[in-house]
């Protein structure tokens, strides 16, 4: 006999845990960019390929989580935060993984080498980007504490501080991106044009990861503001 119960049926599955799990998977994708590019610079293409596989695996799992999340989000769910904001955050989070996978795919497929004079700046640029996405994860991980306080008080201030730090980290990435582009511009005539085109493309996409992480933070801020 299938007994349904008014009290237990009243409670839906909280969206917060799945959203946090998705974000930590996504950030794991972006964090692997550093070892990936280190391997590329050292021309260890087998290792790079292994890392790419691991990134795609994480990206697949994130996609699966995203699907589950959306399926568990019927319109009649009553939540302390708006459904649209949650889905918006999820979308931005997912983009981080997609970007990381795309970047590695292109670099690996073309076996691109990074010009010697740019290498150390490049790794620094990637490190800052990873820091920005990790900061976004830190903010997302506060969601359950936010729920605990009913989205009020000290906890809100704490999360706002985290988001401000995230903005600062994104600006740092921007600065490094400009410097890297400038240095590339200086040597671009000595390099094969198509290679240069893709280098710009890669730099763009890495910068985009930091932007997307910032978007996650902005969306989170909107969600608190209500």
Partner 1 sequence: MELFTEYGTILIILAGIFGFFMAWGVGANDVANAMGTSVGSKALTIKQAILIAMVFEFAGAYLAGGEVTSTIRKGIVDSAIFAEQPDYLVFGMLSALLAAGTWLMIASIMGWPVSTTHSIVGAIVGFAAVGVSVDAVNWGKVSTIVASWVVSPVLAGTISFALFRSVQRLILIHDNPFERAKKYVPFYMFAVGWLMAMVTMLKGLKHVFKDIGIQFSFAETALLAVLFGLLVAALGTYLLSKVQRDESLEVDDRFANVERVFAVLMIFTACSMAFAHGSNDVANAVGPLAAIVNVVSSGGDIAAKSVMPSWILLLGGAGIVVGLATYGFKVMGTIGRKITELTPSRGFAAELGAAATVVFASGTGLPISTTHTLVGAVLGVGMARGIGALNLRMVGSIFLSWVVTLPAGAALSILFFFFFKGVFS
Residues that bind partner 1 (CB under 8 A): 1-16, 74, 76-81, 144-145, 147-155
Distance from C-alpha of 203 to C-alpha of 105, rounded to nearest angstrom: 14
CA distance 159 to 161: 5
Nearest distance from C-beta of residue 200 to partner 1, angstroms: 43
CB neighbours of 22 closer than 8 A, spacing ≥ 6?
A: 62, 65, 66, 69, 90, 93, 94
Report, in Å, the least distance between residue 148 CB and partner 1: 5
Pick the closer one to partner 1 by CB: 155 or 167.
Answer: 155
Is the CB of residue 96 less than 8 Å from the CB of residue 213? yes
Between residues 114 and 140, which has the closer beta carbon with respect to partner 1?
140
Residue 67 and residue 118 in contact, taking contact as beta carbons nearer than 8 Å: no
What is the token pair recorded at 69? Answer: 């999340």
Specify the residue, 9 or 190, whose C-beta has the smaller distance to partner 1.
9
Which H helix or E strand runs over 3?
A: none
Q: Which is nearer to partner 1, 36 or 69 (CB)?
A: 69
Cβ closest to partner 1, residue 59 vs residue 142: 142
To the nearest whole angstrom, how small is the minimum distance from the Cβ of residue 13 to partner 1? 6
Evaluate whether 219 touches 85 at the Cβ level (below 8 Å).
Answer: yes
Q: In which residue are the tokens 């839906």 written?
A: 12
Min. distance of Cβ 204 from partner 1 in angstroms?
38
Find, among 48, 180, 53, 59, the residue nearest to 111 by Cα. 48
Measured from the CB atom, the residue of 184 and 224 that comes closer to partner 1 is: 224
Minimal distance in Å, beta carbon 158 to partner 1? Answer: 10
Measured from the CB of residue 121, what is the shortest distance to partner 1 in angstroms?
A: 37
């Amino acid at each position: 006999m299938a007994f349904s119960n008014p009290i237990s049926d009243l409670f839906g599955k909280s969206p917060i845990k799945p959203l946090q799990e998705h974000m930590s998977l996504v950030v794991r994708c972006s964090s692997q960019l550093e070892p990936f590019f280190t391997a590329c610079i050292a021309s260890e293409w087998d290792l790079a390929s292994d890392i790419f596989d691991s990134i795609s695996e994480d990206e697949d799992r994130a996609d699966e989580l995203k699907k589950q999340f959306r399926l568990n989000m019927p319109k009649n769910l009553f939540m302390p935060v708006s459904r649209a904001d949650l889905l918006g955050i999820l979308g931005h989070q997912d983009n981080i993984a997609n970007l990381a996978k795309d970047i590695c795919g292109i670099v690996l497929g073309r076996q691109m080498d990074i010009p010697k004079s740019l290498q150390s700046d490049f790794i620094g640029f990637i490190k800052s980007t990873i820091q920005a996405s990790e900061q976004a994860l830190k903010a997302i991980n506060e969601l359950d504490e936010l729920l605990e306080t009913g989205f009020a008080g000290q906890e809100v201030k704490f999360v706002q501080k985290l988001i401000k730090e995230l903005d600062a980290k994104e600006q740092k990435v921007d600065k490094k991106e400009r410097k890297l582009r400038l240095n590339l511009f200086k040597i671009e005539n000595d390099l094969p044009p198509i290679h240069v085109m893709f280098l710009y493309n890669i730099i763009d996409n890495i910068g985009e990861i930091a932007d997307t992480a910032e978007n996650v933070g902005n969306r989170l801020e909107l969600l608190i503001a209500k």
